[in-house]
Structure 1
Amino acid sequence: MTRHEIITGHVLSFTEDPFGIAPAASVTWHEALLIRDGTIIATGDLDTLRQQAPGATLTRHDGCLICPGFIDAHVHYPQTAIIASWGARLIDWLERYTFPEEMRFADPAHAAAAADRYFDLTLAHGTTTVSSFCTSNTASVEAFFTAARARGLRAAAGKTCMDRNAPPGLCDTAQSAYDDSAALIARWHGVDRLCYVITPRFAPTSSADQLAALGALWANHPDCLMQTHLSEQIEEIAWVAELFPKARDYLDVYETFGLLGDRALFGHAIHLTAREASRLSETGAALIHCPTSNSFIGSGLFDIGRRLAEGQRIGLATDTGGGSSFSMLRTMAAAYEIGQLTGTALHPAQLLWLATAGSARALHMGDRIGTIAPGMEADLVVLDLASTPAIATRHARADDIWDAIFPTIMMGDDRAIRDLRIMGQPLRTG
């Protein structure tokens, strides 16, 4: 049965990249949008849309911001239970918190419960799409995709591959990494709204043989994404140099083994050499900015102004659980704060673009999600722009729409989520 619904509010539609023109000029505002069977059919004024679909259900969110569902381009869902753990640098974090927690995901029941809990938390914060690292146990991947599919989500994930510098219970081999990943691609890639991501954790935990195997796997499945970590901390970069002494730099390790291309996602990428920055831009790979993680673990400041000037493709992410929040609103606020520290004051339109259309572009999903326009999938979040007393106080003094939105970006949390739609439907649980 065909179902039409009109939703009213401040409907935000990106028509341009706000980093390429005056940010406010990148957006067109509409009074309402029309959805039919999970797809956005039209945007415009309410009377026109009523004439176009006279029997449509009307849902009013007047005064609220209606924008694409948030897209979190780099997460570790198995780290949900260890988020905000105290006092560790990257390598210490892995050994003290991450590896012990990931050992538990060999139990399918534990993995299923963790996946359900993760999606409950992220959806409550308005996030409708994520790209997640799982663990080296295939049960963790099965749990993630099962939970995402039950909720009707567009989601991406992969088995985290590592065959050294990790506990034996988490290590696979070059061959098993290839075989397990290939089997998971055959089972899940392209099913409903799901996408498989080839996932070496990072160079220190994969041997040359394993990286070569995963490069060969990607060559055999070029429509998959590939995600890993790059230049997160200074100590990590030095460790990579010791492990791969013939490499010109950190990025060269991945490139040598066929793990660099326009469908590659590199988390963090803070401390890049000039050569690395040039190659990343040339190949069209995406850099995923993880601001709360970078500050929480003390990794450094991602210089977004510099990276944009280089022509880099950039997405935004919480990096749960090294990141200290499940909220993309908090992540946008942290990106603003780090931008201030590096000399780039990000406009609210630019922050929202990074969390929606920018991350969709990084994930090669920009033709389906990330923007409100006819033909796009209707993953939507509705934000109450006066959700708390503090935000309402500032909102009352707003001079324009951007002045009204910015306090919610900086101070908002799950209380700001008035409504959430997955393919046009109110959120359903798994």
Structure 2
Amino acid sequence: MSKPRIAEWTELRGLAYLAVVLQHCIGEYIYRSDIQQPDSVMLAMLYHLTRFGTPAFVFLSSALLFYHGNKPIGYPRYIGRRFRDIYVPFLCWTIVYWICTQNWSTAQWGQISFYQGMFKEMIIPVSGYHLWFVVMIFQFYILFPLFAKAAGQVQTFLRRYSLKRRKQLVLAVMLIAAAAYALLLHWSYYDMITWSTRLPAFWEALLDYRTYNFVMYFFYLMLGAVCAYMTDTWRGLAQQTLPWNVFVFIGLFMLMGHTMLIQSGDTINLNISTYLKPSTFVLIVSQLLLLYGLLLHLQKDKRSEPFRRMLNWIGRYSFGGYLVHALVLSFISYFTRPLSLGDHHFTATLITFVVVASASLGISWLFAHLPGGSWIVGSKVRQRLNWRPLRFQLPSSKRASKGTQELG
């Protein structure tokens, strides 16, 4: 029997899409020379509300794979599906962004350097600055069978314990993983810049492009797997911690905003709050739990159904919207950059955000309904057919019988 659909996952994906678009719109306006300090401060504070965007995509990608990965099909078929739905659209848009960012003429089509640069973009995308995410997450897709086998061994080990004991063990492992991840981020943010100068060229390149490596996001991948196998427990955690997490998030939000303003000086530097920073990591985990709890709370309120339907629709077409939104933003910026906005940069950012998010989703919807459009924007319905070397079924329990599996 197919597993029940987890409604809040699609809704969270919709929120993550909006967060990513908003942060890129903020980046477009906050570095302009004519921006005034009040707008800079407001945009910097708004920026911290978007920090959960990309990690939420990582979290959901992992959760979907582990949750729906119980159908035993061959690896070639599994990776073929992923290549078609994820990597082919990435290749299409990589070419588009490369061409659009080149000052090229007809003669350049015959130069080998033009195609060398395009090929390099397919490995390390720069012209499409947001496409790095596809390169990173596809590494996880390729290696997923190994993680699935490891998860199967973990489940076999946990079967010998009671349900309560399983939860305790999983919590202990996740706390250790969180500490290890925070240490990794500390090294990444403070130390790896100096490391790269003392290493051979290959290792130096790995450190320089570490944001493209899925290992740098391993905790969110683990968090997604736990959510997939412990859906009821995860929901309970998000709801039970919701009141306290509001205060935790507000405190972290104020602290990081203050840190950015102090360290930036006269010009705001958004890179101070990069994903690969320990304090940002804590903020993101708090945001994920907070938003998850709020989405669960909205499920109980019938008045929120129109809002939830909107998020669900956005989530369905978010991948295509993600691929195209940077191009739409560049098109709008072509007209806004010559303008003197004065003290209206904050307003311009919000208007641009609404236009870019809406137009990108519209383009995604249009291609998704055209013949062969899935090759450009991916499948509008997430594939649930994934390769699985082992069945991850646990002995039935009262909670599992409600439709979700509990790892612990």
With the shorter chain as reference, the TM-score category is under 0.3
TM-score for both structures, normalised by structure 2: 0.27
Higher RCO (CA < 8 A, seq sep 6+) = 2
Q: Give the structure with the higher percent strand.
A: 1
TM-score for both structures, normalised by structure 1: 0.26
